Structure 1
């Protein structure tokens, strides 16, 4: 499939969970804009919905060993998120999305962290 992961929240370089992703990736990140809407869950991490007309700032990384990385990342993201395959700049990339309701969540038009 794909060895690329798109991150937009706590797993970004410099964010609170970067230490978890850093040993799993290789090479530099590519800055991208993901179509969708980012929301503040109020729990210290954001939620991405791949709907609406917005653009969410994100980073794409290549996983060093996807077979080793996915169990770690799936466990970190937990059952609240779904890993989905999307296409960015013609390349398949995995991203974790929020399938739950967003009616009570505040949009983050400038991305994560909120500010």
Structure 2
């Protein structure tokens, strides 16, 4: 299954190692939505936004999903989950791909909009 990543799981991100044996399918991909800085060292995406979010697409082996779900504080849709896992369409290399993405569950996570739609892992994460 394909995963669209837009923050700490991207190449250079502090949690990129969670992707283990995943295969990079697209270095540059764009999804509809808005990107926000949570103020906690990672971003959150709102798929209801009107902007574009830049990220990468990975083909995730089944064995890796439990660890990624744990990292993203997703247990299957509990009211206390920080992120929800949803299916979206993402554009990459002139194609539209069906992917999974983790999105914010609470408006409180959406602190400051990242106008560029790009979470610069080297600039942002170096500050934490």
Within the candidate set 65, 70, 86, 1:84 is matched to 86
Taking structure 2 as the reference length, the TM-score comes to 0.77
Where has structure 1 moved over 4 Å in runs of 4 or more?
none
Looking at structure 1, the residues matched to 59 and 48 of structure 2 have their Cα atoms a distance apart, in angstroms, of 25
Give the superposed CA RMSD.
1.9
Unaligned 5+ residue runs, structure 2?
Answer: 74-80
Gaps of 5+ in 1: none
Contact 1:56 / 1:109 at 8 angstroms: preserved in 2?
Answer: no
SS in 1 for 2:9: coil
- 1:10 alignment counterpart: 8
The separation in 1 between residues aligned to 2:7 and 2:25, in whole angstroms, is 17
Normalising by structure 1, we get a TM-score of 0.85
